Amino acid sequence: MKIFATKKGTIHYYDDLKRHRVATVLSLKKTIVAKNEKINGGILIHYALCSKKPMANKPIAGQYKEIDNFSRIVTSKEKSERKVSEEISPRLIKENDSVVVYAKTKGKGFAGTIKRHGFKRGPKTHGSKNYRRPGSIGDTGPQRVLKGKKMAGHMGFVKKTIKNIRVIKAIEPKNQLWLEGHVPGPKGSLLIIEKKND
């Protein structure tokens, strides 16, 4: 079972042994199954993330007339079907459970080879012009740049999967989860949480 949440930020606390710990605070979103769609090798489920005010535009809202006041639609490929209009309960995840988190990292924009891949710079003195340049990108053999070559380009905003994260607290009145350690993504980003061996 997948549960959707938004990242609120990190918090510092001390455990029972007075050791300093860091936790990521997540706000759970009310989720309703909007549609089931059969595709090759599985079922594509459309989840509607509910909100107090309808934030979806009219073309998207018209496709899901059965559901009121949702902010966005998230699709997920799964093995089994879910009942349409079924509400996904966040209470399935409890304290000390191990979960898998799917997130997108922070976008860093266009970055050079030193920032993106940790390349070393060239000498600063003696007239050297190879200060932050990437250097050679291949020999004369294939006469082309091979795929996967480490070069400058877009950095960040990629999908990450973090496994075996322990749930420290599950605060039901506030619909919050505290996860141990740091979780990728900026504040307000959407995260997908899945119970281990679910």
Pairing of strands 153-156, 107-111: antiparallel
Residue 96: give the domain boundaries: 2-111+150-195
Q: What is the domain count for the chain? A: 1
* Domain assignment of residue 175, yes or no: yes
* Domain assignment of residue 101, yes or no: yes
Neighbours of 64 (CB within 10 A): 17
Decide: pTM greater than 0.75.
yes
DSSP 58: H
CA gap 99, 181 in Å, rounded: 13
Which three-class secondary structure state does DSSP give residue 179?
A: strand
* Domain assignment of residue 118, yes or no: no
* Domain assignment of residue 127, yes or no: no
Q: Quick one: pLDDT at residue 38?
A: 84
74 within 8 A of 49, measured Cβ to Cβ: yes
Q: Quick one: pLDDT at residue 25?
A: 95
CATH no. for residue 41? Answer: 2.40.30
Helix runs in 16-78, H state only = 58-63
Listed as ranges, residues in the chain with pLDDT below 50 are: none
Q: pLDDT (tens digit, 9 = 90+) per residue, 18-59?
A: 999 999 999 988 888 888 888 877 888 888 888 777 677 788
Helix runs in 7-135, H state only = 58-63, 113-117
